[in-house]
């Protein structure tokens, strides 16, 4: 089935070029308006009081002394939210502000708005919270045991088998074939247990918002977010408002990567604004971002794979246990579906358990759930290849999923780009480049689904023939440029005649969050359709001017022309001419398109990593890194390359250094970039991106998502490289120097 019209085989003029980024000057000169950059008259400053305990019953909160402090204008606790709704508070609200219990170190318990940040901070010290400290659990395996402290009651779904703690909230199983038979046919079986720690998205801009709410129930909210329509829906629900009365305007965004797909502080600012009668600004510190926003899940995973001597994978099995903090999450099912997606297997089974712990509620992070599962599977595949003395790239080609493969998650693949991606890696000079002592090369495949979703676009033809595109998805990866390119391509005009802006929630219908690698696919699709609607209208106007049928006019290279010799002899009429006469021919010209975009194609990537391990310190240096990815049609190749490089860098950080470290007291030990180390430019070589353009038949130009797949392979690519460099198989991330050094020493001591 081909649900959409496909014109991707046409010769493009604008698509595939690399125009300058439209937000470049503002960003490099510091003029871009981020979440914390908005100031309005009479604005108050808010601060949040957070629980120092990972798990504690809130006996009482006394705010009276704080309220008396000069300059304090409002204090809120969970009780202030109960008047907005009679319903049970949503998980989102309880995560924003603790109700009966503090569920993790850093959970918000109260907030203050004052004339200055200094006064607000002082007021926090005057709030007296009486806690009853409860036992806590932060480790996923511990949390699953029947004698574990129960984090949050009442969340167990009907699909969870008996025999687990109430912290196990959901269970999923996928696969097909006879596993026993598959393993019986193997010449070698490797079975290992892996662990990954939670990693933060590490966006440089902390969460920030400014809320202005009036007593009659109207509100304006400015915030940095990946999806302001979702912010509106969640906040309106919490505040008991109608959506029309809450206008949300997104700021420029300093990174999100999935972490800004939900809300953390916005209802607090709205409630403080309502209570104080003043606009309220609330900006998180970095410490708060780490403690109280959403990192990834951490995981514990068992993987078992069988292989014949000549490299045929006979069976694969994975058991995945993901903790996602104090509220239920839907991540392990994505990992369980992704784990073996790169392989054509006769027998495969994955099982997954989502688990509660006393940690912050996990949020999405590029391809949520997939990097962990694929890290474990790809590490075992590499170990099998090494033990059987087989080429890991040839073995992946031999077992690769392709058109007609029954995927490990159920559907049969149509055209997919995995083998082309692997072949590109095989031909690349990187794969055969020589290695020296203490160096190793790692390889991993990666996979992600991608999706579309609700999308609205308005395309206005200005009187001078230039174009204004209005869309509703915050630009986290260069989408404004790509959207302008697609509008220009369709209209047959140059890129610089188009400007794309992100509108507030009142300007367009609902737009799904900027996530799922959906924006260039879905907003692009809507833009193309909106441009076609505008072209249809322009052809109609020209038919009126020429006095011929509408069907006798067609569009070519930015002008209306007669459709054929029978239409009559007319000189082409350019978009500028048509726009200039639009008032006289019927009024302003615009095109719209509203759609729930479906048909996003899945995407595969292959990463090659060369590392050198310092055996005296355990430190790993990445020497060379190449990313191969099926990107569909690359609209703006520089941005596509940036997505591929960025995902790789984040995955390398996750593999080598990044981790949430909890103490025995259940408190986060490293809530800052000094102790939570993300890679910086000087840590890494240039990441070489190799784009493969295998068109997605579900998009008019062949676009498929590119933003998430690139974070999936680095964990295993780095793990495999370090394992080969040291001849020690590692199975816990991150591969931080102390961990690697400890294993090296153990290897020496064990002889």
- Catalog residues that contact another protein under the rule CB under 8 A: 1, 3, 157-159, 171-175, 257-259, 261, 330-331, 333-334, 337, 349, 351, 363-368, 409-414, 448-453, 515-518, 596, 598-602, 698, 708
Question: Least distance from C-beta 332 to another protein, angstroms?
Answer: 10
> Given its phi and psi angles, is residue 610 left (phi above 0), alpha (psi -120 to 50 degrees) or beta?
beta
Confirm if 692 and 644 have CB atoms less than 8 A apart: no
19 vs 177 by CB, closer to another protein: 177
Confirm if 441 and 473 have CB atoms less than 8 A apart: no
477 vs 558 by CB, closer to another protein: 477
Question: Least distance from C-beta 514 to another protein, angstroms?
Answer: 10
Distance CA 539, CA 553 (A): 6
Question: Least distance from C-beta 24 to another protein, angstroms?
Answer: 25
Please, which residues bridge with residue 101 across strands? 57
Question: Least distance from C-beta 707 to another protein, angstroms?
Answer: 8
Confirm if 430 and 686 have CB atoms less than 8 A apart: no
Question: Least distance from C-beta 335 to another protein, angstroms?
Answer: 11
Question: Least distance from C-beta 261 to another protein, angstroms?
Answer: 7
Distance CA 498, CA 636 (A): 15
Question: Least distance from C-beta 650 to another protein, angstroms?
Answer: 11
Question: Least distance from C-beta 406 to another protein, angstroms?
Answer: 9
63 vs 709 by CB, closer to another protein: 709
Question: Least distance from C-beta 648 to another protein, angstroms?
Answer: 16
Closest CA to 288 of 46, 543, 641: 46
72 vs 522 by CB, closer to another protein: 522
Confirm if 299 and 372 have CB atoms less than 8 A apart: yes
Confirm if 628 and 465 have CB atoms less than 8 A apart: no
CA distances from residue 90 to 59, 78, 82, 94, 422 in whole angstroms, order as listed: 21, 12, 11, 6, 45
Q: What are phi and psi of 289, to 5 degrees?
A: -60, -45
226 vs 719 by CB, closer to another protein: 226
Question: Least distance from C-beta 161 to another protein, angstroms?
Answer: 9
Question: Least distance from C-beta 597 to another protein, angstroms?
Answer: 9
250 vs 368 by CB, closer to another protein: 368
Question: Least distance from C-beta 400 to another protein, angstroms?
Answer: 16
Closest CA to 512 of 737, 231, 743: 231
Angle between helices 637-656 and 714-726 (to 10 degrees): 50
Question: Least distance from C-beta 516 to another protein, angstroms?
Answer: 3
Q: Is omega for the bond preceding 292 within 30 degrees of 0, making it cis?
A: no
601 vs 632 by CB, closer to another protein: 601
Q: Concatenated DSSP letters for 472-518?
A: -S--SSSHHHHHHHHHHHHHT--GGGEEEEE--TTTSS----S-TT-
Question: Least distance from C-beta 477 to another protein, angstroms?
Answer: 12
440 vs 632 by CB, closer to another protein: 632
475 vs 576 by CB, closer to another protein: 475
3 vs 564 by CB, closer to another protein: 3
Task: Give every CB contact of residue 96 below 8 A, 6+ residues apart in sequence.
Answer: 108, 238, 263, 264, 265, 266, 267, 268
259 vs 472 by CB, closer to another protein: 259
Q: What are phi and psi of 133, to 5 degrees?
A: -70, 135
Question: Least distance from C-beta 91 to another protein, angstroms?
Answer: 13
184 vs 412 by CB, closer to another protein: 412
Which tokens in the block code for residue 627? 């990313």
Distance CA 131, CA 534 (A): 62
Strands (E), 284-374: 298-307, 313-323, 348-355
Distance CA 335, CA 350 (A): 9
Distance CA 531, CA 318 (A): 47
Around Cβ 586, how many Cβ atoms within 10 Å? 12
55 vs 529 by CB, closer to another protein: 529
CA distances from residue 498 to 485, 491, 519, 571, 612 in whole angstroms, order as listed: 8, 10, 18, 25, 47
282 vs 289 by CB, closer to another protein: 289
Confirm if 211 and 220 have CB atoms less than 8 A apart: yes
Which tokens in the block code for residue 647? 């995902």
Around Cβ 387, how many Cβ atoms within 10 Å? 12
């Amino acid at each position: 089935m081909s649900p959409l019209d496909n014109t991707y085989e046409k010769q493009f003029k604008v698509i595939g070029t690399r125009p300058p980024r439209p937000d470049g000057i503002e960003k490099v000169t510091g003029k871009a308006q981020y979440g914390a950059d908005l100031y309005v008259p009479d604005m108050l400053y808010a601060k949040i009081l957070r629980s120092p305990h990972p798990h504690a019953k809130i006996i009482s909160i006394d705010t009276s002394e704080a309220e008396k402090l000069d300059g304090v204008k409002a204090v809120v606790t969970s009780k202030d939210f109960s008047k907005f709704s009679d319903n049970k508070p949503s998980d989102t609200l309880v995560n924003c502000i603790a109700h009966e219990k503090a569920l993790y170190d850093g959970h918000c318990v109260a907030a203050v708005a004052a004339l200055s940040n200094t006064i607000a901070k002082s007021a926090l010290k005057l709030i007296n919270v009486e806690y009853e400290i409860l036992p806590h659990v932060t480790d996923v395996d511990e949390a699953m045991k029947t004698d574990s402290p129960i984090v949050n009651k009442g969340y167990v779904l009907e699909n969870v088998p008996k025999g687990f703690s109430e912290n196990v909230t959901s269970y999923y199983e996928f696969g097909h074939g006879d596993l026993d038979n598959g393993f019986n046919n193997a010449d070698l079986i490797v079975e290992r247990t892996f662990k990954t720690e939670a990693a933060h998205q590490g966006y440089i801009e902390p969460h920030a918002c400014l809320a202005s709410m009036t007593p009659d129930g109207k509100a304006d909210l400015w915030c940095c977010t990946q999806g302001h329509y979702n912010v509106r829906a969640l906040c309106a629900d919490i505040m008991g408002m109608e959506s029309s009365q809450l206008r949300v305007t997104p700021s420029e965004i300093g990174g999100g990567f999935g972490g800004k797909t939900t809300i953390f502080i916005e209802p607090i600012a709205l409630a403080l604004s309502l209570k104080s009668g003043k606009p309220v600004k609330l900006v998180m510190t970095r410490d708060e971002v780490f403690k109280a926003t959403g990192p990834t899940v951490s995981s514990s995973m068992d993987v078992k794979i069988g292989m014949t001597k000549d490299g045929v994978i006979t069976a694969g099995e994975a058991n995945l246990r993901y903790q996602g903090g104090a509220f239920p999450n839907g991540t392990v099912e994505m990992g369980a579906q992704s784990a073996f997606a790169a392989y054509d297997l006769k027998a495969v089974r994955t099982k997954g358990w989502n688990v509660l712990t006393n940690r912050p509620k996990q949020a999405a992070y590029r391809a949520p759930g997939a990097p962990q599962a694929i890290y474990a599977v790809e590490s075992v595949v590499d170990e099998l290849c090494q033990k059987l003395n087989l080429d890991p790239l040839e073995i992946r080609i031999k077992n690769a999923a392709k058109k007609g493969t029954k995927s490990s998650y159920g559907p049969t693949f149509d055209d997919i780009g995995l083998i082309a991606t692997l072949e590109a890696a095989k031909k690349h000079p990187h794969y055969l480049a020589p290695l020296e002592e203490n160096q190793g090369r790692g390889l991993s495949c990666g996979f992600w689904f991608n999706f579309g979703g609700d999308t609205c676009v308005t395309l206005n033809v200005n009187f001078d023939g230039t174009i204004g595109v209005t869309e509703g998805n915050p630009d986290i990866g260069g989408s404004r440029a790509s959207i302008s390119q697609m509008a220009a391509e369709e209209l047959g005009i140059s890129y610089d005649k188009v400007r794309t802006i992100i509108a507030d929630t009142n300007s367009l219908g609902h737009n799904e969050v900027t996530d799922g690698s959906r924006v260039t696919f879905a907003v692009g699709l809507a833009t193309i359709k909106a441009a076609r609607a505008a072209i249809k209208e322009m052809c109609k106007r020209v038919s009126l001017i020429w006095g011929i049928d509408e069907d006798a006019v067609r569009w070519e290279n930015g002008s209306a022309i007669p459709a054929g010799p029978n239409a009559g002899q007319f000189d082409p009429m350019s978009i500028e001419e048509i726009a200039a006469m639009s008032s006289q021919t019927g009024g302003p010209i615009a095109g719209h398109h509203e759609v729930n975009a479906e048909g996003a194609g899945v995407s595969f990537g292959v990463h090659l990593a060369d590392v050198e391990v310092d055996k005296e310190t355990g430190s790993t240096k990445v020497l060379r890194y190449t990313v191969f990815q099926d990107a569909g049609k690359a609209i703006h190749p520089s941005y596509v390359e940036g997505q591929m490089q960025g995902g790789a860098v984040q995955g390398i950080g996750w593999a080598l250094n990044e981790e949430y470290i909890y103490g025995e007291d259940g408190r986060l030990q490293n809530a800052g970039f000094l102790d939570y180390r993300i890679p910086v430019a000087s840590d890494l070589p240039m990441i070489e991106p190799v784009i493969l353009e295998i068109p997605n038949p579900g998009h008019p130009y062949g676009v498929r998502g590119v933003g998430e797949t690139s974070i999936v392979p680095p964990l295993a690519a780095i793990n495999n490289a370090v394992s080969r460099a040291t001849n020690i198989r590692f199975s816990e991330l991150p591969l931080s120097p102390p961990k690697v050094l400890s294993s090296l020493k153990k290897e020496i001591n064990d002889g």
